[in-house]
Amino acid sequence: MVLLSFKGILRRKGTRSDRNPVGPKFTVEPPGKVQFYNSTGAVVTCAASGVPLPTMAWIKQDGTPVQEVPELLQIRPDASLIFAPFRPEDFRQDIHSATYRCTASNSVGIIGSRDVNIRAGKHTTRYFTRI
């Protein structure tokens, strides 16, 4: 009997999980619309299960992979898409007013989430003066 260690989990080779792969299934699917202010930023989560464990990725509406943009857009190891707070003059339409999709893939197949429409708005503070 051979024991395999994967991320601290021991399992026996030849067990059911090795013989019966399972395609990806979303456990957390992102919402269809995310709106936020430039002063707050936003986090969009996505997670999936399957055997073997799916690889998560984000793609743009045209099917190209999402690339990180320092100080504006990051992808966490847990596949969360991070829109950092930004100055109004740093607004980029291709990042802050765009459509994204989360994908999960393993040896069985690939699935895509619903489209996620991202819209960042400028946060303005209004000051009122007492007359």
CA dist., res. 62 & res. 41, Å (int): 24
Alpha helices in 20-118, H assignment, sequence order: 93-96
Give residue 127's Cα distance to chain centre: 36
DSSP code for 114: -
pLDDT at 65 over 60: yes
Residue 129 pLDDT more than 50?
no
Residue 32 near residue 115 (C-beta atoms within 8 A) = yes
The torsion region of residue 129 among left (phi > 0), alpha (psi -120 to 50) and beta comes to: beta
Whole-number Å distance between alpha carbons of 20 and 52? 9
Band (pLDDT 50/70/90 cuts) for residue 19 is confident
For residue 1, the cross-strand partners are: none
Q: Are 131 and 47 in contact (CB under 8 A)?
A: no
Token pair 């919402």 is at which residue? 31
- Output the average pLDDT for the chain: 86
Which pLDDT score is estimated for 127? 46
Model confidence pLDDT, tens digit, residues 38-47: 999 999 999 9
Model confidence over 79-117: pLDDT tens digits? 999 999 999 999 999 999 999 999 999 999 999 999 999
